[in-house]
Structures are given as C-alpha cells and as structure tokens.
Amino acid sequence: MCGIAGIIYKNRNVETAELEKMTEKIKHRGPDSDGFYVENNVGFGHRRLAIIDVSHSADQPFSSSNSVLVFNGAIYNYLEIREELQRFGYRFKTNSDTEVLLYAYELWGENCVKKFNGMWAFAIHDRKKNILFCSRDRFGVKPFYYHADSEGFYFASEIKAILEVKKLKKINLQIVLQFLDTNFTEHNNETFFKEIFKLQGSHNLVYDLSDHSYQIKKYYDLVQNKKITKLNLQQSINLFEKEFERSIKLRLRADVKVGSALSGGLDSSYTVSVVSKLLESKSSEFTAVTVGCINKEDDEADLSKTITNITSVNHKVIYPTKQEFENAIQQVIYSMEEPFTGLSVYMQTFLMKEAKKNGIKVLLDGQGADEILLGYSRYAAAFMRSHSFKESFLFFLNIRRHYGISKLEALKIYFYFTNYHVRKLYLMFRGSNLKEKYKRKIDYRHIKKLNKSYSNIFELQKNEIFWAQIPQLLRWEDMNSMAYSIETRLPFLDYKFVETFLSINNNFKIYEGWSKYILRNCVEKFLPREIAWKRKKIGFNAPIEEWWPPSKEITDTINNSKIIQELFKNKFTCIHDRDFEWRLYNLAIWEKLYGMEL
C-alpha cells in the first residue's frame, strides 16, 4: 500500500523537485521509503508502505528492461500468478507483488488486470509502446485522480498532491449541488474540484505519449451466474462459507501485523471468527479494534468483547471524547479532500488511529456485506417490487421481523425508493432554499436510473457497488486508513465473492423473517444466537447530539461561506435536519481549508 504521483509534460522535461513536492503531500500513505523516476517529459514519484517483502529491493518506482511501474495496492493472488509467470521463464529478484504485477503486464499487456485478485491503482511507463498504462481495481478500492490541460497530464493517489503543482480552486458546481441535495458524489468520474477527475473502478487509462491523447476503457462488469442462482439453501450456505474463507486466506498474506475492525455486528463478527479459525493457536496474536459510543443505545462494545472472548483474539476498545472529536474536525475534513455526508467518518478515524497505536499495518474491514446480502432496510422496497403481490404482502406484514422497521416506515421506504417522481419531489422540497437558477441545474438522471433498478435486485446491487454506494464508502475508508499509514483489506469485496453472492437466490438473503439469512447461519456456528440473530443494526454510529450539539458557531460558519451565500436564497437560522446541517458545515470548512471558489 502506497502513494503514487506522476507528471507528463507536452513541451518540457519533468523536474524531480516537482515530484518531491507531490509525494511530500502524501507521505502518510508511505512512510517507509520514497523513490523517483524521470525520463525526459515523464516522471513518477512514489511513497511506500511496506507490506509484502519489506526489503528495499521491492521499493518503487520498479523497473524492468522495458517498463517502469508505480503501484498502490495489493495483489492478493500474487503467489499463484508468480508461479504461472515462472513457467513462462520469468525470474524474480524480490518476493513482492509489485514485481509480479510488472511482469504480468509485460506478458499479458492490458489483459493482465483480469488476472489480478486485489486492489490497485498503478501507472506503467511502457517505453517500447511509448504509452502510459494506468489502471484502477474493479470496485475502486484504491484511488486514482488526474488532471489534464494544455501543459500536460498529472495523476496521484490524492488530490492534494496534484494541487502542489497545479493551483486549481474552482468548485465543481454540479457535484456540490448533488452533495447538498441528493447525497450522491461518486456517480460519475467527477470530483468536487472542477478540473480534477477520478479514474473509475473497472477502468484502464492509456495515455499515448506520441500525440498526448488518452483513452479510458472499462475492462470488467458483473454478470449473473444462473447456475449459482439455482442452488438450494444449504448449498448456498456451504458456498458462502467456502468462498469467504478463501477470501480471508488471501487477505492474511502480509509480512507485517494484521488486525481487524470489530463492531458487534454480523459482518465484522464473522470476519474475526473466520480469522480465528484459520490462525488456530496464533489467534491471540491477532488484534481486533472496537470504537465504543458514549451513547449507550449505539454502543456495541460489550458485544464485541463477547466475540473476542470466544474467538480468543486480542481486543482493543476505545471511547473517543467530545474534545477529541472537536480537535479532529478540520484535520479529517482536510484529509478527506472532498466533503462527506456524516460524522461516522470520525468514528472510523479514531479506529484507524488506535490501530496504528497498536502496530497494525493491515486491517480487515467489512465494507460491502450489506450491499451484497441486502442488509439495509431500503432493500425491502426492492424485495417487494421484484416479487408477486402475495409474496410482497406477506413480506410487508412481517417487515418488523425482517428489518426492525414499522409498516409505516416500510411504506415510506417503498414509495421513496421505487417511485422516481416521489423521490425527486422530496429532494426538490429539501433543496427549496436554493436559488432557482441552481435548483434548475441539478441533474436527477442518476436518481431515476437507481430508482428504476429497484425492480431488479441484481441491477440494483450492481448500481450500489459501482457508483451509488460502495465508491463513497471506499473513498472514506482509503483516506481515513492511509492518513494513519494503514492498509485496509475488504474480504466481502473480493471480486469472486461478489460475483458469487450477487448470483445467489435473493430469497435466501432475506428468508423466514431475517435479512442476511445466509450470513446469520454462518455466524451462528461460531457465536451465540444473540449476536447471530440480532435485529438492530448499529455499526460505528457517532454520538451526534453529544459531540456536535446545535450552536450559533455552526450556523455562523455556514452563513459565512461565500459558496453557500451564493447558492441559497436566505441565511440559515435553525436547521432541523442535522444531516443537512453537517453537509453545509462540512462544505464551509472545506471551502476555507482548500481556498475554493465558485
């Protein structure tokens, strides 16, 4: 896991000092070493967080006779690919996945990415073809930002590295409006910075150095496997266990200390349980980290202690204070680089901080489980929409058993998520204080596409994974973890696991009154019923009222924002929607920290 940066100039040579400025801004991503490569108008910079083969022989930029690579991420199946490459005559001087990646490109070209099981963002200067080949992993776990103009092409793991060499201060008005009104920020390749873009997951970028043009191509999509859909319940449970254990085994490959995030929920509980099983007598060397909540209704620390006692893993529990949160407000907004929607990001921040304190350099986390196994209450709408009237009505009658929500809540969810016009009217009402000219600018097409997919659960899950939900969570996860030099690995987002369980019969994901039914059956083999069959979903909820009570200071910060003054008709007095208040406040702080302009 590392930080990468690069420059291609059209009419002059790259200077190492420019790359040094870029990588200095992202040194938290790679505190173990740095390196630079310059060949005329092409330059790479790299900061390394050593995880696999921690010797300096695996430092980057990494070169062969024809190519030079800078790479951020981890190729989990590198040992299997290495064996295949050896059969083709390749000889290795390191034990790293970096060397495997470069030789895989030299043998298979652009198709090498189809061989990889992992997370990555990389750039290869192919001297022979005179191109730059860039790629981002299937679901966009690792970031790749870029800017192109008349002078050249610039890329990096973080936006702030590009800002070191290009002073870009204009906001992307459409993304800001989407953030404030619809909560969507990752539905296309744009960012909050008008002239900075992101290479989306499942895409390659090929830059032709002869004419300075570039093309972006999608290399991967999710396809439903009808054979898996036909499996019965027990076969589906067995397959889940087998595939998840395979995913965990791959993600335990590291030459440094590995740990896990742990709430009292199903996803992290099962992860820790499987790790404990695989490590056997060494499970006490594995550390799980829990962030407790001072609001007892949202605190799962006691449940997490039960889990670690049973699985015999080491356990660290922290309770962040209001003062710690206040001290971290601006630091986290700066680290995130783009505004974010809620305070749960800070809970994750404190978890990463504690993990680093305990020497953990690789942390397993549960992102993706709810999207794959229909864990959110909004999926009730999709379930009812995609079944017969009789089946939907019976499901509706038992909705509290399925998701712990009332029938009235279920109706609201159904009409909001399945009827585009209802949802659009609500969003327009929520943004009623926007000036008319800005209200008219909001593009709702992605909302229409998402609502339409609620009639087909597979399509809905694809949308959630590729642009509507997962990319946002992954952006927060990456920025939070790398701020503390930690590599997070996500076993539920192993692409083979995702392919398998998006194809599983949906009636087994929600079954006999239980959401995530298959996972619950697997968890019960390790942990008590009160954990496996717990209905209330909490996770790492932040104590908003305790940490961030309404105040004049918050309102003043919002009203003093030049961007907000321009977008809205009136100044704000009392904002009842605290989520909306946070988005406004976050935007105002971000504007100040990055000197942004409308």
For the annotated catalytic residues, the residue numbers are 2
DSSP structural state of residue 115: G
In Å, how far from its chain's centre is CA 362?
A: 16
Strand pairing category for 33-39 and 362-364: unpaired
Whether the Cβ atoms of residue 519 and residue 241 lie closer than 8 Å to each other: no
Q: What is the dihedral of CA 148, 154, 160, 163, to 10 degrees?
A: -60
Written as six digits, the tokens of 226 are: 């009808």
Alpha-carbon gap, residue 41 to 8, rounded angstroms: 6
Written as six digits, the tokens of 144 are: 């790749």
In Å, how far from its chain's centre is CA 342?
A: 15
Element containing residue 441 per DSSP (H, E): none
Contacts 24+ apart (CB under 8 A), 432-435: 433/568, 433/569, 433/570, 433/572, 434/177, 434/180, 434/181, 434/567, 434/568, 434/569, 435/566, 435/567, 435/568, 435/569
Contacts of residue 583, defined as CB under 8 A and 6 or more positions apart, other chains included, come to 179, 180, 183, 339, 341
Written as six digits, the tokens of 391 are: 């089946």
Alpha-carbon gap, residue 214 to 234, rounded angstroms: 49
In Å, how far from its chain's centre is CA 2?
A: 16
Nearest to 271 by CA among 525, 491, 533: 491
Whether the Cβ atoms of residue 422 and residue 537 lie closer than 8 Å to each other: no
Alpha-carbon gap, residue 345 to 333, rounded angstroms: 10
The stretches of 386-456 forming alpha helices (DSSP H) are 389-397, 399-403, 407-418, 420-430, 436-439, 445-452
Alpha-carbon gap, residue 145 to 324, rounded angstroms: 31
**DSSP SS3 for 300:** coil
